[in-house]
Every structure is written in structure tokens, then in C-alpha cells.
Structure 1
Amino acid sequence: MTDDLRIDRVETVLVDVPLRRPHRFARAVMDAQPVLYVFVRTAGGITGVGEGVVPAGPWWGGESVETMQLVVERYMAPVLLGRRVDDLHRVMRDVGDVIAANLFAKAAVEVAMHDAWARCLGVPVHTLLGGPARTSIPVTWALGTEPAQVVVEEALGKLDAGLHHTFKLKMGAQDPAADVARIRTVAEKLAGVAGVRVDLNARWDRLTSLIHLPRLAEAGVEMVEQPVPGAEIEALAEISAALPIPVMADESLRTPSDAVRLARLRAADIFAVKTTKCGGLRASLDIAAIGAAAGLPTYAATSIESPVGTAASLHFACAAPGATWGSELFGPLLMAEEMLTTPLHYAGGHLHLPSGPGLGVELDPDKLRAFRRD
């Protein structure tokens, strides 16, 4: 059994998965999502898979799927080979001694090790995380920076189909006054039928936020995500204190140390936790626990993961007691192609835990070949 758990191969595959429609951020737009898959195989013949992914390239966190592939193959793989998949803490500590930062790349490897370890034991990944606190989680649908009528029509279509009940709109690509007017129009159209939230992707400064965000609260917007750059935690605290609606930290929150500082300064009301940006499942659990201890709920956020990364985030979100503010795990629904042999189960506005060992998902080898980069 000991030898069976040893890692004897680490492989990476880059794919570009087409989207159903372009997805627009404040600083980027994409019509396909690049994804790095990392496969960790044990001597016993069990393979675990993890995913490295960022939304539309290195503008968000500094990494890209291309840098992740290089870091995993050249620097992480030599640390992993010959080590046991259940020796996860020490392996990732040793990876950290070799590679600073690169949390997205580390997350791909850490999740692949969890998947392989759980498959070796014949249990789901959430068992390794303490078991499920819930078996499904609500899913918010993200809307882009398009004109108000376009996003209202998309939101109403989702509502009519019973797929989603809350929507998050991207901001920051337009003049602030025009952007606020656009959001107010959407909020008025959806008032009483759906929750409306906004994400500025750190595009405004402190003063712009203090001037314009109160008008969004007046219009019924129920949450504001990361209005100012990630390093400006004091400004985030001032904005949070000034608004009557919750402020969520995303770019300001990557590590447990960030979580402690945010909680101490009361700089946010909600923690946006992405297993990708946080370096994996264990650090994500630590951040959620810090938030829970400070009375700050966790929201399972997204980097627009494919079904593999989405499944990993789902296991975290269902295992973390403090993940009580729902999720944004819509990535697979935005993709034009199904990458799994059996799709993840979305129903009633929720994403439901899959059954089976490991992450509970299997990549479709035909789709992997079809979208693999040369």
C-alpha cells in the first residue's frame, strides 16, 4: 500500500474550451477559457487531476496557464516524484520552499493530490476535508459589462428557466457615472424578482467608490465586490464602514494572513474564496475558518473554472461550515462544450455534490484531445 501511494508521474495538458458567449471583465474579454490540467499518477495506477485557471489571462493574478505549466513541469514535478499523495502537507511545504507565490499553479497540484489520495481510499474529496456541511450550494450567475438591456434579457432568461435567482454584474469598464446609471437600470428591472450584486474588479479608487457606491445601495444592489485595488485594505475598510450593504473582498484576499488582516480591520463583510487563487483546498478551508471565527461568511467564488476546478471548489464549499453566502460556480454552464463524461448536476439554482471517489468527475478523453493545444 505504501508504494502504491507514491507519485510516479506528473503530466500537464493545456486546453482552450470555447464559451457560449464572450465574457467581459473590466479589463479583459474572452470567448474561450484556457485551462491547464495537471495529472498526478500513483505507482498503484490511480490518477488524480487538478486544474490551473485564471479568468482571461494574467491581468488578474499575474499567472497564466502557460506560466503554470512551466512552473509545474520544471519546478514542482521534481518535488512530487517519489512522494506519497497522502503526505500532502509536507509535499506542499517543500513545494513552497522551491517556489514563492504562484498560488494558481500550486492549487492545480494540490487538488490533483487530493483527488488521487481520495481515489486511493475510495472516498470523495470532501471526506478528506472533514465531511460535508451541506450537499449543494446556490449558484449566482455572472453578467458582463454589456448595456443594461442586454444583461436584463440574459438575467430574465435564467430566471424564467429556474436556473439562477441572483446575478452579479461586472463594472469598471465605463465612466463611473455611466456605469452606475447602467446598474441602476438593471436593478430596477430586476427589483423584487432577483438579487443584484456588482463586482468592480478593483477598478475604482477610494473617493470614486465613496461618491458612487451609495447610489447603488439606494437602487437595491445587495452587495459590492472589491471596488479598490487589492493592496488598499484600509480604503476597503473605509468603504465598508460607509455602505449599508455588504462589501466582499476578492483581490485583497489570497492567503490566511490576508484573511486575518481583513478581519482585524473589518475591511470586508464577506470573503470571496477561490481555491485557485488561494493555493488549493487546505488554505481555502483555513480562510473560511478565519472568516467564520470573525463572523464573516464565505462565498465560493470562481476563476471561470472548467468542471474539474468547479468540482474542487464545490467540495470545498460543501465542506466549509462558514461558506454560507452561496457561490459563483457557474463556469461549466458558460462553456460551449461539456468536458466530463457525466456533467455536474445543476438544479433549482444549486450545484449538487457528485457521488463517487475523488472529485467525483471524469474528463472526457475525446474532448481533451479535441481542445488540446499542440
Structure 2
Amino acid sequence: MIIQQIKTFKKAVPLNKPFKTALRTVTVAEAIYVEVTLDNGMKGYGEAPPTHVVTGDSMASIQFAIEEVFAPQLIGQDLRYHDHVFKLLHKAMVRNTSAKAAVDMALYDLLGKAANMPLYQFLGGARSELKTDFTVSVNEPAEMAADAQRYVENGFDVLKIKVGIGSPEDDIRRIQAIRKVVPDDVVLRLDANQGWSAKDAVRIIGRMEDLDLGIELIEQPVPAHDIDGLAYVTNHTLTPIMADESIFSLYDARRIIEGRAADMFNIKLMKAGGIYEALKINALAQSYDMTCMVGSMIETKLGVTAAAHFAASQSNILYYDFDAPLMLKEETVDGGIVYDGSRVTFTDAPGLGIGGIKSCQH
């Protein structure tokens, strides 16, 4: 199982509708795809999107890191000694987590294929199907309510609502508008994407609690670096608080746990640098009886398939945000996870179950 070749490809896919958060607006999903080939001809696949405002990675930096830094370190290595291989990957370059994640998931794809097991089973096999939420982009209240109503009609009973733009009153009006048009049993999760100050967050969340808007959790209410502010919000509200952009590494996770700064984590492969490090973060959370979400950036089906396999493998990962491929105008890979409304299932194919990449530009 000697790593023989590492190739990259570019891909760009238009979204059905612009995706707006407090951090950015996306109209096209861009990605660098990775193909890792072993000496026995077996191929593994990975993906990295350029999420400048979160990870700092760009298309050019991802491609350079993989081709000029990681490939020379990894080609010739024996994947049977995969712990050593993953350590080489992570020591080769600081940060550049999305580029690392792309190579990492391709290597795990190969490990699953070598074991002749779907990756979620190889990693632990906690469950064989998931239920994803669907994300409502931040817009004017009426547009968000119409979007929410449409997603519910399409079979989604868990909605992730983007907030954090404009005044606190704007966000409250957005949630009130959505609550008026969706059934009471539809779960609402809020994601401020760092858009509030700590004091504004406490005020907004308290107001939503008083209005009984039925919010399940609030994700990343304050700027990523403001761990004290995150703790302030967690300790002054009743609604569970989830850390997202504040957690890239195991060390970030430990700091948040020790400071009691959040109730749960959103683990993303693009922040962690792939499955190898994400497993460590989740194990730490699990040791503190903390439940986690696994989500993604605006990724295609390849990257989200890897995230879903990781999520399904671990028993304390109970929240899933895997709607990104459903926002795209076209499929980019053969195989991978299977969608049936909000239900996400896996095939019996080994590894990630990706049969190949569709017409990518080298």
C-alpha cells in the first residue's frame, strides 16, 4: 500500500440560490479535488473548498500545499503504517487545514477500501443513517420565511437559520416570521456565524426564550477569538450554545471545555484538518459527555460524504448539517452518500463509496 501518486483537480459548481451568512455570500461552490493512487492501483478521493473567511485557505494555497508540500512528503510512504503517514501530513505545514483535510479523507477512503468496509463502519459504525437539517440563508424576514416553508414542504423538519446581520431586532423578526409559517414541531437551530457581541447575544437569546420561539441551540454567537465572550453567553442563557469557528484544533477544544465556554461543538473536517484530528476532538468531547454536530463548508458531495462517514461512526455525534450538496446545480462525483429528503444513508461500497470524479479541470 505504497502511495505512488497525488493529483489535484479544480471544480466549480453554481448554487441554486446565493448562500448568505454573516461572514460571506457564495454563488459558486469551488473546490480542489485530490486523487491519491497506491502502487496496487487503488485510488482514494478528497476535497477542499476555499473558505477564506473561516480557514484562510484559497484555491491557489490549497493546490500549492498539496502538490508542493504534502505530496513530496507522502509519496513513497506505506499506508499500512497510517498513523505515521497522518503525522507526516500534519507536521509538514502549519495551519492549511482544508488542504490537509482533502488529503486526509483520500487516505481514509483508501483505508476503508483496503479493509473492504464502508468508512463509517471502519471508523466505528455507530449508526447507518443520519438526518440532515437544511440551512436558511440570512435575508429579509419574508424571504427567509418563504425559504423555510419550502424546505419543510420538501421533507426537512430541522432548519438551521442563519442570523447575525443587521440589528438584534432584525434577527428576532426573522425567527418570528419563520415560526409563523412552519409547524411547531419543526426544529429551529440558529447560527450567528460570529455576528453578535456577547452582550447582544445574551439579550437576543433571552428575548427569543421569552417569546418561546422554540430554538434548539445557538451556534457561534460571538467572534471566534472571544472565548471569554462565548463563556459569558453560555453562562447567561438557557439555550444550549455550540462553538464552531472557535474550534479548529484539539487544543481549542480543550480550552473551551476547561473554560466551560460552550455546551457542544460543531466539528468540521475543513477546520480540524481531516478525520484524523477530528476523531481526537470528538474523543475529548465524548470524555466530557459532550454531544457534537458535524457540518461542512459549502462543499460538494465528495467532502460532505467524508464528513457524513465520520459523523455516523461516532455515538456522541447527534447533530448533522449535510445539506450543501443539495444546494448545487449538478453532481460532481459518482457514488457517495444517498439523499432521500432529509434522510442520509450509505451504500455498501468500501471507503467513501466514490466511484470517480466527473469532468474536472486539471
Pairwise same-fold verdict (TM > 0.5): yes
CA distance in 2, matches of 1:142, 1:274: 16
Quick one: distance in 2 between partners of 1:176 and 1:88?
Answer: 48
- Pairwise CA distance, 1:348: 5.3
Tell me if 1:68 matches 2:72. Answer: no
Out of 88, 104, 108, the residue aligned to residue 94 of structure 1 is 88
Match of 1:160 in 2: 153
Shift of 1:343: 6.2
Give the corresponding residue for 1:192: 184
Question: What is the letter of the counterpart of residue 110 of structure 2?
Answer: A
Report the aligned-residue RMSD.
1.7
2:274 corresponds in structure 1 to 280
Q: How many residues align?
A: 360
Shift of 1:364: 4.3
Q: State which drifts further: 84-93 or 134-143.
A: 84-93
Give unmatched runs, 5+ long, in structure 2. none
Q: Which residue of 2 aligns with 1:234?
A: 228
SS in 2 for 1:75: helix
Shift of 1:342: 3.9
The answer (yes or no) to whether the contact 1:85–1:114 under 8 Å persists in 2 is: no
Task: Could you tell me which runs of 5 or more consecutive residues in structure 1 were left unpaired when the two chains were aligned.
Answer: none
Give the distance between the partners of 2:348 and 2:151, measured in 1 at CA.
26
Q: Is the 8 A contact 2:152 2:182 kept in 1?
A: no
Give the strand-richer structure, 1 or 2: 2
- Contact 1:33-1:304 within 8 A present in 2 as well: yes
1:173 to partner: Cα distance: 2.1
Aligned equivalents of 1:347, 1:328: Cα separation in 2:
15
Which residue of the partner structure matches residue 178 of structure 1?
170
Match of 2:257 in 1: 263
Corresponding position of 2:198: 206
* Structure 1 segment 24-39 matched on structure 2, within 5 A: 24-39=20-35
CA distance in 1, matches of 2:165, 2:297: 19
Aligned equivalents of 2:76 and 2:32: distance in 1? 23
Q: Distance in 1 between matches of 2:111 and 2:204?
A: 49
Tell me the TM-score normalized by structure 1: 0.92
Answer yes or no: is 1:301 the counterpart of 2:295: yes
Q: Provide the residue aligned with 2:327 in structure 1.
A: 334
Q: Secondary structure at the match of 1:33?
A: strand
Deviations 1:175-234 (A, max 9, x none): 222222222322343351411111111122222212222112333222111011112112
The reply on whether 1:42 has 2:38 as its aligned counterpart is yes
Distance 2:68 2:341 in 1: 44
Give the stretch that moved more between structures: 346-355 or 63-72.
Answer: 346-355
Kept in 2, the 8 Å contact 1:124–1:356? The answer is yes
Residue 21 of structure 1: which of 9, 13, 17 is its match?
A: 17
Gap change, CA 1:70 and 1:38, over 3 Å in 2: same
Tell me if 1:289 matches 2:283.
Answer: yes
